[in-house]
Structure 1
Amino acid sequence: MIVGLVGNVEGIEPTFITLNVSGVIYGVHVSLRASALLQEGQEARLYTTCIFKEDAHDLYGFLQPEERALFERLLKINGVGARVALSVLSLYGAPEFGALLKAHDLRGLQKVPGVGKKLAGKIMLDLEGYLAFGIAPNPHATEAALALESLGFKSDVVHKVCAGLPAGLNTQEIIKQALQQLR
């Protein structure tokens, strides 16, 4: 699994860049916001997610770990694929998306290409509390929450438990303490 890349940007398209990492050139899907901030010839650090399908192996890159965590969380929602998740991040950064969730702004979410009224409602319902509990700004808490959810714990319960833990813990400590409370 590739979780990050550091290299020189060789080419930029609106939602795709090529990144030269020590002579190996990677094609990476990025948000519109990320491609606007990058320049050819510039060294870039990307936090990545790999998605493997029968017909494709795609790499998605993000400038902040919070963006990657939000992308991965959006992918867990039935009906949200990589294109829609990337469109969300093209229109909203993690803090703006958190404000959108807190305000229950369905119309703002429907501005994302590919998100209609039904999917917007589903995203709101599934992510209720995700950013409201303050999980997203701390990448350790975000990673721990995603790990606990992958173990089968419900999202809302995980976020309530993680929100009650002391600040400054690393990912492993958060998982260990959360598991003690979730038993």
Structure 2
Amino acid sequence: MDPLVSEFYRHYPHLQYNKAVESFISQTENRKLVEDFLRHPSASKEERLNEAFKAYYFDIRFTSYVSSSLYFHSVNFDKKIRKYSERHPLTLDDRVGEDGGSYVELVPDPASEIAPFTNYSTLMECLESEELLKAYKTLTDKQKHVLDLAYVQERSDTEIARMQGVSQQTISKTHRKALHKLKSILEKGES
């Protein structure tokens, strides 16, 4: 054991196994205070040593308090989030069928998914419903072309407008009218 530390513990035997005191003495500036007090003891040096130890011990306790407080707050936060997740699961996390799978497993991966109409050039080639096909044939050529670009080539109204050299509002109006016409024909059962 260090002679300075041995001397200190000879004067204060009740502090010998105290980890905080050992840690305090191991720091250079505190070691100088202890050495100065042991070489030339006085009430003012003892008071300075006590004040330094109180400040050091406060820092230890404060750090310990903050650390444990953060730990318990994080544990409580985790419990709170877990409880909320169990009570309010996302719709995609709900269980489906007997196998126990979830809806999220049924969602296709867009990276591996091929565009639905890549093998077709017009919407008419894609339609399987006879009623919808007859209704589609009643549209004007302009309406058919806008629907082909929108649904087969997956273009936005803005892209279609740029391609045709007209305003986006014109394409949007044509698109909307074509869909409305198809809807009304299908609802009435006309073709």
TM-score bucket of the superposed structures, by smaller chain: under 0.3
TM-score, normalising length from structure 1?
A: 0.25
Return the structure number with greater relative CO, CA threshold 8 A, min gap 6.
1
Whose Rg is larger?
Answer: 2
Relative to its length, the structure with more helix (as a share) is: 2
Relative to its length, the structure with more strand (as a share) is: 1
TM-score, normalising length from structure 2?
A: 0.24
